[in-house]
Amino acid sequence: MTLRCTTVQRDHQHRKMKLFGCVSHFDGSSLYEKDCPYSTFCLKKTYELTLLNGEVVKGAERSCAPQLYNYQTYDGTQWRQKNKIEDTAYSEGCFPAETQGIKSPATEHCYCSGNLCNSAKPSREPPHHHTDAMAVIFVFNAMKYIRSLR
């Protein structure tokens, strides 16, 4: 079964958001859905940039995660194009983009594996907030249990 993702991408050449129609009218409808036969993850990339005048520009791009690896093989008589889906390229969750010393917008890449999972609106809570709280509760209860065994 082919994964479906919400797809809204930035047109870098024209510095506008686009997707088979005007992104300012993005409503999460099926117009913004795309089959992703070469992906096992959907991607949502969010970014935030503070301009010199103090104005903050925020944006989001949604797409199929790029996982298609193209390569050539020689079968003894000719070269042939091969394709492979790199299913271990990403793991589920949100990760900050590495800037490698270059001043760039604060960017976060979120990968998910469910159909249309990248269509959710951004959360106002920090990423993994609930996961961290659950980990603290788990460790607390584990320590309490270990102490009760003494």
Nearest-CA neighbor of 66 among 89, 47, 50?
89
- Angstrom CA distances, 18 to 55, 106, 133, stand at 22, 21, 38
Domain segments of the chain: what residues? 3-124
User: For position 102, what pLDDT does the model report?
Assistant: 74
The pTM of this model reads 0.64
CA–CA distance, 66 with 40 (Å, rounded to integer) = 9
User: For position 133, what pLDDT does the model report?
Assistant: 58
User: For position 35, what pLDDT does the model report?
Assistant: 92
User: For position 134, what pLDDT does the model report?
Assistant: 62
User: For position 99, what pLDDT does the model report?
Assistant: 74
> Is residue 111 classed exposed, middle or buried when 0-12, 13-18 and 19+ CB atoms within 10 A define those classes?
buried
- 90 near 36, Cβ under 8 Å? no
Nearest-CA neighbor of 29 among 60, 53, 8, 59?
8
* Consecutive 10-residue averages of pLDDT for the chain (150 residues): 78 42 55 89 90 87 93 94 92 86 83 88 48 62 73
Dihedrals phi, psi of 127, to nearest 5 degrees: -60, 145
User: For position 147, what pLDDT does the model report?
Assistant: 75
